[in-house]
């Protein structure tokens, strides 16, 4: 297999996405109910058959049907015949279910340190001043070898820094109690909403997303996002985090014959809604460079207008399902959408978008040379797997059989900032000299540092932490160890 069949045009000529161009990213758009999910499903099936692992965010629960055989239907037979698919047969695909909350899949975790300050600030909806303080907290934790694994580590460190605010100000800048208090309140709210499930260990090993099954088919990783979607900032930041981890950890591979991994972002507009400019710019950089690591990124949304222009320009393979115009504003929007598609002379893309039926689309793939081909109207192929969600008992059975369950099912709470700072407090409380200092404050030496002492101390810490390791923050604020 060297291409992904999307469908056939009116002359029954097949329209395909070349597998070697699948890492040049893509876009699937259209109104609700026009067939975007089925297109996503058929592309995923073909990628898996080609030995390419896939990551999906499942916001409605429908994509779990990939793990079961499809069922015969006259409409399916009609589409199989129209697209002249000789080897069509119903089949199921290898699926791994993930869920931040651990309810409908393997628990999906990362550490606070790996998430990074930029994405965490977005989750917490911090303002600029609060974000700056959070940056200081992360820098302080790095310099002092204090691991931030879960939210209790972060809260313990915020308390520590508040108590030492005068000393910290000389070296890192002002950390006001009111700002720290505001951050803590946001952390408490995140915990109350269940967001603390995401932070902990064992953290996700990116290599587990790059596996094939015993037959060589690419493993399909379905991230259940039905509950996660209730917190749209957590949803978008979580997907950004996975993308940044892939970018930071995967080696350069140039232009492979097929992708190492394809990532489908459903409800893609949530990635960019209200996102600060600096975060969108970093996302743009990641998307531009990650294709050389063999990763294809596909955004699914209602309109190309949901995607920032600089990112939209990097999406080579485009599939447009129908849009509906109920107002002049809709007409204007569709006219703008039509301009994103190259078309043959005399072909009216705008009218074609308005006339598309369910399961029809306009497709503009990349050619062998990487140039966009003229847009073509196609009748999309049907899926081989089940359309719609799996029965709960089947899903639970597959989850129980997953070999990764032994790795991720039980959480681990190793020594980190919370435990280290707790021990330090107990030790100081039990030290006689500490008690003497409390009784005679006149003899207590000053904790204040001169600017020179602070600079030297900072330099020493940057050369080596108490954990004997180097920490380098990545492009989205995650760390590489």
Please list, in sequence order, all residues whose beta carbon lies within 8 angstroms of the beta carbon of residue 260, skipping any fewer than 6 positions away. 23, 52, 53, 210, 250, 253, 293, 294, 295
Q: What is the pLDDT of residue 469?
A: 33
More confident residue, 36 or 173: 36
Distance CA 92, CA 20 (A): 25
pLDDT at 479 over 60: no
Q: What is the pLDDT of residue 132?
A: 92
> What's the alpha-carbon Rg for the chain, to the nearest Å?
26
Q: What is the pLDDT of residue 310?
A: 92
- For 453, the token pair is 């002492």
What's the mean pLDDT in 449-478? Answer: 44
Number of CB atoms found within 10 A of residue 135's CB: 18
Residue bearing tokens 């003229």: 374
More confident residue, 363 or 276: 363
Please list, in sequence order, all residues whose beta carbon lies within 8 angstroms of the beta carbon of residue 41, skipping any fewer than 6 positions away. 63, 65, 66, 383, 385, 387
Q: pLDDT class for 474, splitting at 50, 70, 90?
A: low
Q: What is the pLDDT of residue 169?
A: 84
For strand 317-320 and strand 360-364, is the pairing parallel, antiparallel, or unpaired? antiparallel
Residue bearing tokens 């919370």: 418
Please list, in sequence order, all residues whose beta carbon lies within 8 angstroms of the beta carbon of residue 233, skipping any fewer than 6 positions away. 122, 123, 125
Q: What is the pLDDT of residue 325?
A: 81
Q: What is the pLDDT of residue 330?
A: 82
Q: Which of left, alpha, beta for 391 (phi over 0: left; psi -120 to 50: alpha)?
A: beta
Q: What is the pLDDT of residue 167?
A: 83
pLDDT at 314 over 50: yes
- For 443, the token pair is 């003899």
Q: What is the pLDDT of residue 344?
A: 65
pLDDT at 460 over 50: no
pTM over cut 0.85: yes
Looking at the chain, the whole-number percentage of residues with pLDDT higher than 70 is: 89
pLDDT at 443 over 80: no
Q: pLDDT class for 455, splitting at 50, 70, 90?
A: very low
What's the mean pLDDT in 38-67? Answer: 96
pLDDT at 458 over 60: no
Please list, in sequence order, all residues whose beta carbon lies within 8 angstroms of the beta carbon of residue 292, skipping any fewer than 6 positions away. 252, 253, 254, 255
Q: What is the pLDDT of residue 192?
A: 87
Q: What is the pLDDT of residue 477?
A: 57
Q: What are the pLDDT digits (tens) for 298-307?
A: 999 998 989 9
Q: What are the pLDDT digits (tens) for 93-137?
A: 999 999 999 999 999 999 999 999 989 999 999 999 999 999 999
Q: What are the pLDDT digits (tens) for 247-283?
A: 999 999 988 999 999 999 999 998 888 888 888 898 9
Q: pLDDT class for 57, splitting at 50, 70, 90?
A: very high
Q: What are the pLDDT digits (tens) for 149-199?
A: 999 999 999 999 888 888 888 888 888 999 999 999 999 999 888 888 889
Measured at the CA of 63, the angle between CA 404 and CA 98, to 5 degrees, comes to 25
Distance of CA 287 to the CA centre of its chain: 12
Q: pLDDT class for 231, splitting at 50, 70, 90?
A: confident
Q: Domains along the chain?
A: 3-109+208-390 (3.40.50.300), 112-198+443-480 (no CATH)
Helix axes 232-249, 277-290, angle to 10 degrees: 40
Q: Is residue 100 within 8 Å of residue 197, measured between CB atoms?
A: yes
What's the mean pLDDT in 338-363? Answer: 86
Q: pLDDT class for 18, splitting at 50, 70, 90?
A: very high
Distance CA 398, CA 385 (A): 16
Q: What is the pLDDT of residue 16?
A: 96
- Rounded mean pLDDT of the chain? 87
pLDDT at 21 over 90: yes
């Amino acid at each position: 297999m060297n291409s992904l069949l999307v469908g056939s045009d009116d002359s029954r000529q097949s329209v395909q996405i070349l597998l070697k161009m699948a890492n040049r990213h893509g876009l699937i758009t259209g109104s609700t109910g026009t067939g975007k999910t089925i297109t996503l499903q058929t592309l995923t099936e073909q990628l898996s058959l080609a030995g390419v692992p896939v990551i999906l965010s499942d916001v409605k629960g429908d994509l779990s049907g990939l793990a079961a055989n499809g069922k015969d239907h006259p409409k399916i037979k009609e589409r199989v015949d129209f697209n002249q698919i000789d080897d069509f047969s119903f089949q199921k695909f290898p699926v791994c279910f993930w869920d931040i909350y651990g309810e409908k899949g393997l628990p999906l975790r990362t550490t606070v340190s790996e998430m990074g300050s930029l994405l965490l600030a977005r989750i917490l909806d911090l303002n600029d001043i609060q974000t700056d303080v959070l940056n200081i907290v992360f820098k302080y934790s790095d310099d002092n070898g204090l691991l931030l694994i879960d939210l209790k580590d972060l809260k313990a460190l915020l308390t520590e820094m508040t108590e030492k605010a005068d000393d910290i100000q000389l070296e890192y800048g002002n950390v006001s109690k009111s700002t720290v208090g505001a951050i803590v309140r946001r952390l408490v709210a995140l915990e109350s909403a269940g967001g603390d499930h995401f932070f902990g260990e064992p953290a996700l090993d990116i290599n587990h997303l790059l596996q094939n099954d015993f037959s060589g088919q690419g493993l399909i990783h379905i991230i259940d996002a039905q509950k996660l979607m209730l917190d749209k900032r957590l949803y978008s930041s979580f997907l950004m985090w996975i993308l940044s981890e892939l970018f930071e950890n995967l080696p350069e591979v140039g232009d492979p014959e097929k992708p190492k991994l394809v990532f489908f972002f459903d409800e893609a507009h949530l990635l960019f809604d209200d996102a600060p400019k600096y975060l969108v710019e970093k996302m743009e950089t990641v998307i531009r460079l990650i294709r050389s690591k063999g990763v294809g990124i596909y955004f699914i949304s209602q309109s190309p207008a949901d995607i920032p222009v600089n990112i939209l320009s990097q999406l080579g393979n485009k599939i447009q399902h129908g849009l509906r115009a109920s107002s002049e504003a809709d007409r204007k929007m569709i006219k703008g959408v039509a301009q994103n598609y190259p078309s043959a002379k005399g072909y009216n893309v705008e009218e074609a978008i308005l006339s598309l039926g369910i399961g029809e689309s306009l497709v503009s793939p990349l050619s062998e040379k990487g140039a966009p081909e003229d847009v073509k109207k196609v009748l999309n192929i049907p899926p081989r797997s089940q359309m719609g969600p799996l029965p709960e008992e089947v899903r639970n059975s597959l989850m129980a059989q997953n070999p990764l369950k032994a790795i991720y099912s039980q959480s681990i709470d190793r020594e980190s900032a919370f435990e280290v700072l707790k021990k330090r407090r107990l030790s100081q409380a039990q030290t006689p000299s500490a008690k003497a200092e409390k009784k005679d404050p006149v003899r207590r030496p000053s904790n204040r540092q001169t600017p020179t002492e602070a600079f030297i101390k900072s330099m020493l810490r940057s050369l080596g932490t108490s954990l004997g390791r180097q920490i380098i923050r990545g492009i989205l604020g995650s760390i590489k160890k």
